[in-house]
Amino acid sequence: MCGVVGYIGSKEAAPILIDGLQRLEYRGYDSAGIAVLNGGKIVSDKEMGRLANLEKLLAKAPLAGSCGIGHTRWATHGAPSQLNSHPHFSSDGAIAVVHNGIIENYAELRNELAAKGHRFLSETDTETVPHLIEQELKEGAASPIEAVQRALKKLRGAYALGILFRDAPDTVYCARLGSPLIIGLGEKENFIASDVPAIINRISKAIYLNDGEMAVLRADSVEVCTIEGEAVEPEVKEISFKAEDAEHAGFETFMLKEIHEQPRVLRALLEKHVSADGTIEIGSGLSPDYFRKLRRIMIVSCGTAYHAGMYGKLLLENLTGIAVETDLASEFRYRDPKIDPGTLVIPVSQSGETADTLASIRMAKDWGCKIFSICNVEGSSVVRESDATFFTNCGPEIGVASTKAYTAQQMAFALFALYIAGVRGNLTPEQVKDYLDDLHEVPDAVHYVIQKKEEIRVIGEKHHDGPSSLYLGRKFNFPTALEGALKNKEISYQHAEGYAAGEMKHGPIALISEALPVICICTKTADEVYEKMLSNIKEVEARNGRIIAVATEGDTEIPKLAGDIIYVPEVRDEFTPMVNVVALQLLAYYAARARGTDIDKPRNLAKSVTVE
């Protein structure tokens, strides 16, 4: 989604804005622009495509000034073009605005403003904002802040806004509703950003604006108030991760770095939540008695986090006997799910800013449900709107395709399910300890798979060229099949479908030919699923499908069937998805590399989907 940055201090603003925008590149964008206050006027440059294009422009004609705003745009209203890029301006050029979000009533406002003589240059919803503020000044607003407040009250939708006024030197205005905005606090300089990584190299303290709040930033002060004008005493938070966490650290891409971080992330979660005597601490703020009486859980999330939710459902049902449902947040929010106040709702989100997930939380709260989220980003909207949060503590995930956040979400569910099973007596303390011993083997097993990346690379490169691929799995590894297919299509742009293997005969079997790579997740299990999966593989083999299997070390059946095999270490059935998916992340990674795609910033994708 769009990235917003802003700076006020004594340094040159343009290089700081560009650096911040570069650090937000991972969010996805199609054009970029900045505006800087320069001796009584606002100067600006915008360019289509990569930031490097804008940098070239600035290298030829630098924009001087120590107060500015910048933006990377991910087109929603109007095609990617220079005219549609931000910043957008008022008619007299005295107000510049950058915006992340969607102004839903922009058409109506635009008509009203056009009738009052405003001319619009772009097709964007954002351009109404500077014109509206300009109109408020014309109609008697006594100051920029009053004009902003009056304008904001007329907007419907979501926004994180950065605003400059030609006539308010050395001041950046900002406001937030429904889209994240952070104020970074420096020494005689202050920043705004839509995401911490944009400014993490410059600050260690930040204010997370709440919905309906705005702020006025000068080099040595930050004043926060509501859009109604009520002063707010902001909470200043220490940023818990370091600048290095948002760097490549020698890896060719962020995605590869983040795949490699998984053993460490999983180990750290185990260390944090399991004490030496085997007690699990999940920090739900809910009493053991609450869990003993709990009858229903509803998990809501999107994309990869939805696959983690599917895994969570299987595990929770299996270990706790509680009825668990999972749904895509975008579906959940528009159906009539018959949720009673006794249902525990678990939103899962890496970013904590996904619009549909947030809307689902708000609905569930209206129904009186408790919200216990699984989330990676401290201070994010999901965290702030939940009763309690299990933090996945992965550090910033910069690669657009989610990897470490996924396995950390799975680990969160594993710990949560074992905690509840212990509390409810579904498992004895000895059984919980057994499970925990097995869970502790997962980080090493993941590390082992990562060590095999060269073997996986060869397989990925061998099968990268076809138009399509099919991923099959069962039970705990059905979500793994969906996630493997999602990773592949996201970064390699090869069409990929994930299917429950038992569904194969009901349709997808028609696709099988010698041209179709079929990725079969068939690790050893204690129940009949392994045998069933073997039968499915035989069906693929009988139709000359190209079988790539993910199998357990030492398996003697799979080599008789599969052309290529990625062997993974044996772990307890329930925990195999955390290990198997890493093989599929790497497979997708190397297929994408062979196809020459932009792995960290795949086309059309945004890291954090803050609009519906």
Stretch that binds ligand F6R, among 133-141, 241-249, 344-352, 551-559 (CB under 6 A): 344-352
Which residue's entry shows tokens 């890029």?
85
Among 135, 357, 373, 492, binds ligand F6R (CB under 6 A): 357
Tell me whether residue 265 or residue 423 sits nearer to ligand F6R (CB atom).
265
Q: Which CB atom, from 34 or from 308, has the smaller least distance to ligand F6R?
A: 308
Q: Which of 401, 427, 512, 551 binds ligand F6R (CB under 6 A)?
A: 401
102 makes contact with ligand F6R (CB under 6 A): no
**Applying CB under 6 A, does 402 fall inside the site for ligand F6R?**
yes
Segment near ligand F6R (CB under 6 A); pick from 51-59, 169-177, 268-276, 299-307:
299-307
Angle at 28 between CA 23 and CA 460, to 5 degrees: 100
Interface characters, 488-517, with ligand F6R (x: CB under 6 A): --x---------------------------
Nearer to ligand F6R, 102 or 305 (CB): 305
The reply on whether position 178 binds ligand F6R by CB under 6 A is no
| 2 belongs to the catalytic site | yes
Cα dihedral 194→196→197→200 (10° resolution): 130
Q: In the numeric block, which tokens belong to residue 43?
A: 């100067």
Report if residue 67 touches ligand F6R, rule: CB under 6 A: no
Q: Does 302 help bind ligand F6R (rule: CB under 6 A)?
A: yes
CB nearer ligand F6R, residue 320 or residue 350: 350
Q: Per the residue annotation, which of 2, 67, 174, 375 is the catalytic one?
A: 2
* Sequential DSSP letters for 311-338: HHHHHHHHHH--EEEEEEHHHHTTS---
Q: What contacts 271, CB < 8 A, 6 or more positions away?
A: none
Q: Given the complex with ligand F6R, which of 354 and 494 has the nearer CB atom?
A: 354
CA distances from 591 to 234, 284, 465 (A): 47, 40, 8
607 given a catalytic annotation = yes
Question: By CB under 6 A, is residue 304 in contact with ligand F6R?
Answer: yes
Helix (H) / strand (E) element for 497: namely: strand 495-500
- Tell me how far apart the alpha carbons of residues 464 and 462 are, in angstroms, rounded to a whole number: 6
Q: How far is the CB of 361 from ligand F6R (least distance, A)?
A: 11
Check residue 305 for interaction with ligand F6R (CB under 6 A): yes
How many other C-beta atoms lie within 10 A of the C-beta of residue 341? Answer: 9
Q: Applying CB under 6 A, which part among 156-164, 347-355, 527-535, 559-567 lies near ligand F6R?
A: 347-355
CA–CA distance from 554 to each of 26, 150, 353, 527 (Å)?
40, 69, 43, 18
- Least Å distance, CB 402 to ligand F6R, is 3
The number of beta carbons lying within 10 Å of the beta carbon of residue 273 is 21
37 near ligand F6R, judged by CB under 6 A? no
Binding ligand F6R (rule: CB under 6 A), the pick from 137, 207, 609, 611 is 609
Taking only Cα atoms into account, the Rg of the chain, rounded to an integer number of angstroms, comes to 26
In sequence order, what E strands does 128-227 have?
157-165, 172-177, 182-185, 190-193, 205-208, 213-218, 221-226
SS3 at position 237? strand
- What's the rounded Cα separation, in Å, for the pair 469 and 511? 9
Alpha-carbon span 244 to 2, nearest angstrom:
23
- What does the binding site for ligand F6R look like in residue numbers (CB under 6 A)? 302-305, 349-351, 354, 357, 401-402, 486, 490, 608-609
For the annotated catalytic residues, the residue numbers are 2, 607
